[in-house]
């Protein structure tokens, strides 16, 4: 665990991610096996952490802030169907779920810190791979004859379009991506790391028959392209200190559109979001018991929006008038340039040998808001109770700026404040043996200043972000910072590391999440599953064979019951019902074959072995005037092949 953290930390290696059954070698899907992490449905890898919205997660890729690491990512949120990141680049992933230090900010619930490996410094290698979501290649090698650096390059393309077309789906997604990492050592103290990631995502529709046109009416076209690049020089100043700089640029071009069954445009959203930031950080080990960190970042931001939203009638009934809420027509064009900045300092001190105290202070600035300045203290304490048992406590104030799309929707939204969450965390960790550890943590998150709608007084944007398929989920309306809420829970986790043949983990989480919107009525969060249970494990048989299984049981998410006569929904019953509980069993078998000059890794991964058609949503079909249940795909076998030369 990093020195500036006391609890709520888990780490996954490349191998742990790769061999997780049903994970599709996707970082987001694999992280969902960890304590306190829920999800929306099998088709997405959104992270719902300790009851928080999918908008509340921070992604760092080789120390560069990245708004979303997914193809077809949700604008203003952090999830999507499949990760852009090629797993072959990943060395390890650190996941922080609460009480994290002042180094991390502008998000309320979690930090996913992805660290890439270096390329091979000795020889040229090629890895050709076929997985559940696409095929591609990775090549790597040293820089120059002196081998003072290395490089990695990958390209990848999906074959989902072939599968969707063959299966007769009305919509067909396809994507491609490329990644590069280069590292060069100028001398023993100075090095440079360069990263670049790019993606192109496209959706096409098959509207040949009436049924497909009606189904596609509820699905927004979501075409995207974007890139991330960063340049990070690092200098070792002495045996006790080093400094790094990070110049990073991120850009995403969103192209959403929706049409009705008669091909009349009802919604268009052409948006561009770009950010260029310069970060510097200083790390000093003053004594073996004293560490100091300090740093800051300044970023230039540009967001352009060209949006049209046709007036629409909601299914929700206004309890005062008895009529349905009307979402008014919206037409806006804007080109906004603004900036953000933050400064932080973090102090770590060991006293009485093993007692560790962390103190941090963070300052955030967002020029676009009328309320621009925010100060957030953080503190944590770690106390060993004996050689195997330790206790930990953490407290912190966290702020998150409103999504750029929310700010662009209405001029009055500049009055929004940054969303605030107070974290309280207490935990115990027990080392059962050298390769088995157990943790128990309790937490409480108190939310305030969450944006809520003034047109729909029941709506708080903490309930949005999990699946931007409908135009009324973008937050394109007048908003005020009047929402409050809380999430509280307890998590049990036990992990057996791979030391001989067997490995595995088990986690069980109980939690509750509730919000109050503008009408002041406390309601269940749309992401309150009540309980999460996951057990996964594997065994290495020798001779290159390995088998693993994963079982997940999750409580059903809340939803608002629908009147079977007309599809209307009463505000008094908002999120009062629950979907059926979710359960799924996945298995995976790997075989590694080593030849003289190359290695072949193959696997068979069977998702949902029991063919459980889990219900993850209920909608009203205006054409059949009946319920439509969103079900998981069920039994899905996939194969993977990696040829390494």
pLDDT in tens, 50-63: 999 999 999 999 99
Q: What's the mean per-residue pLDDT of the chain?
A: 93
Q: Using one digit for the tens of pLDDT, what is the confidence trace for 354-367?
A: 899 999 999 999 99
Tell me what percent of the residues of the chain surpass a pLDDT of 90: 77
Q: So what's the pLDDT on residue 397?
A: 98
Distances (CA, A) of 40 to 43, 141, 223, 389, 440: 8, 40, 21, 35, 25
Q: Write out the two tokens for 49.
A: 């952490």
Q: Using one digit for the tens of pLDDT, what is the confidence trace for 410-425?
A: 999 999 999 999 999 9
Q: So what's the pLDDT on residue 43?
A: 85
132: confidence class by pLDDT, cuts 50, 70, 90: confident
Q: So what's the pLDDT on residue 445?
A: 98
3-class SS shares of the chain: helix, strand, coil, % to 5: 10, 60, 35
Whether pTM exceeds 0.85 = yes
320: confidence class by pLDDT, cuts 50, 70, 90: confident
Q: Structural domains in the chain?
A: 9-644 (2.40.170.20)
Q: So what's the pLDDT on residue 331?
A: 95
315: confidence class by pLDDT, cuts 50, 70, 90: confident
Q: So what's the pLDDT on residue 163?
A: 64
Query: Of the given ranges (211-215, 266-270, 429-433), which has the lowest mean pLDDT?
Result: 211-215
Query: What is residue 22's three-state secondary structure?
Result: coil
Q: So what's the pLDDT on residue 539?
A: 95
- pLDDT of residue 160 exceeding 90, the answer is no
Q: So what's the pLDDT on residue 468?
A: 59
CA atoms of 377 and 398, how far apart (whole Å): 8
DSSP E strands in 499-578: the ranges are 502-516, 522-524, 531-542, 545-554, 558-559, 569-570, 577-578
CA atoms of 313 and 455, how far apart (whole Å): 12
Q: How many CB atoms lie within 10 A of CB 536?
A: 24
164: confidence class by pLDDT, cuts 50, 70, 90: low
- pLDDT of residue 574 exceeding 90, the answer is yes
Q: So what's the pLDDT on residue 353?
A: 78
Q: Write out the two tokens for 74.
A: 């949700």
- Average the pLDDT over 340-367 and give the result: 96
């Amino acid at each position: 665990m990093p020195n500036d953290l006391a609890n709520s930390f888990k780490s996954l290696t490349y191998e742990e991610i790769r061999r997780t059954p049903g994970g599709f070698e996707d970082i987001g899907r694999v992280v969902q096996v960890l304590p306190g992490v829920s999800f929306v449905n099998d088709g997405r890898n959104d992270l719902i952490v300790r009851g928080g919205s999918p908008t509340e997660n921070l992604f760092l890729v080789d120390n560069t802030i990245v708004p979303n690491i997914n193809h077809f990512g949700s604008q203003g949120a952090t999830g999507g169907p499949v990760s852009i990141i090629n797993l072959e680049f990943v060395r390890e992933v650190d996941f922080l779920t609460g009480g994290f230090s002042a180094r991390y900010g502008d998000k309320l619930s979690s930090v996913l810190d992805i660290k890439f490996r270096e390329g091979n410094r000795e020889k040229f290698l090629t890895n050709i791979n076929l997985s559940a979501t696409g095929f591609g290649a990775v090549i790597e090698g040293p820089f120059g004859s002196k081998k003072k650096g290395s490089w990695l390059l990958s390209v990848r393309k999906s074959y989902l379009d072939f599968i969707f077309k063959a299966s007769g789906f009305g919509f067909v997604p396809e994507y491609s991506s490329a990644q590069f990492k280069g590292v060069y050592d100028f001398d023993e103290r100075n090095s440079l790391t360069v990263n670049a990631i790019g993606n192109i995502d496209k959706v096409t529709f098959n509207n040949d028959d009436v049924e497909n046109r009606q189904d596609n009416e509820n699905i927004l076209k979501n075409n995207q392209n974007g890139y991330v690049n960063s340049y990070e020089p690092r200098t070792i100043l002495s045996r006790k200190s080093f400094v790094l700089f990070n110049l990073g640029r991120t850009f995403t071009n969103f192209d959403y559109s929706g049409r009705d069954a008669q091909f009349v445009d009802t919604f268009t959203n052409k948006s561009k979001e770009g950010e260029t930031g310069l970060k510097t950080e200083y790390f000093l080990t003053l004594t073996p018991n004293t560490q100091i960190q300090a740093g800051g970042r300044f970023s230039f931001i540009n967001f352009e929006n060209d949006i049209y939203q046709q007036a629409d009638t909601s299914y929700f009934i206004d309890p005062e008038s008895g009529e349905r809420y009307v979402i008014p027509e919206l037409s806006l064009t804007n080109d906004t340039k603004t900036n953000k900045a933050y400064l932080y300092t973090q102090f770590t001190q060991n006293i009485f040998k093993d007692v560790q105290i962390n103190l941090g202070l963070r300052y955030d600035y967002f020029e676009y808001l009328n309320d621009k300045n925010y100060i957030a203290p953080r503190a944590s304490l770690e106390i060993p109770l004996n050689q195997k048992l330790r206790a930990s406590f953490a407290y912190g104030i966290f702020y998150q700026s409103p999504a750029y799309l929310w700010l662009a929707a209405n001029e009055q939204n500049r009055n929004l404040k940054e969303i605030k969450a107070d974290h309280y965390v207490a935990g115990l960790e027990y080392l059962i043996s050298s390769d088995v550890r157990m943790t128990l943590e309790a937490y409480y998150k108190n939310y305030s200043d969450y944006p809520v709608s003034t047109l729909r007084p029941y709506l708080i944007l903490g309930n949005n972000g999990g699946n931007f398929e409908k135009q009324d989920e973008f937050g394109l309306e007048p908003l005020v910072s009047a929402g409050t809420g809380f999430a509280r829970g307890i998590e049990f986790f036990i992990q057996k590391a791979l030391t001989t043949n067997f490995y595995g983990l088990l986690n069980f989480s109980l939690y509750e999440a509730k919000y109050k919107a503008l009408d002041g009525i406390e309601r269940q969060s749309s992401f309150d599953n009540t309980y999460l249970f996951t057990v996964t494990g594997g065994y290495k048989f020798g001779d290159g064979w390995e088998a693993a299984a994963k079982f997940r049981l999750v409580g059903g998410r809340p939803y608002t019951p629908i009147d079977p006569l007309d599809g209307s929904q009463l505000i008094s019953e908002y999120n009062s019902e629950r979907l059926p509980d979710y359960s799924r069993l996945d298995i995976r078998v790997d075989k590694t074959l080593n030849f003289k000059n190359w290695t072949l890794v193959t696997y068979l991964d069977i998702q949902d072995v029991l063919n459980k058609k889990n219900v993850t949503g209920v909608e009203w079909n205006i054409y059949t005037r009946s319920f439509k249940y969103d079900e998981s795909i069920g039994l899905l076998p996939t194969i993977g092949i990696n040829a390494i030369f």
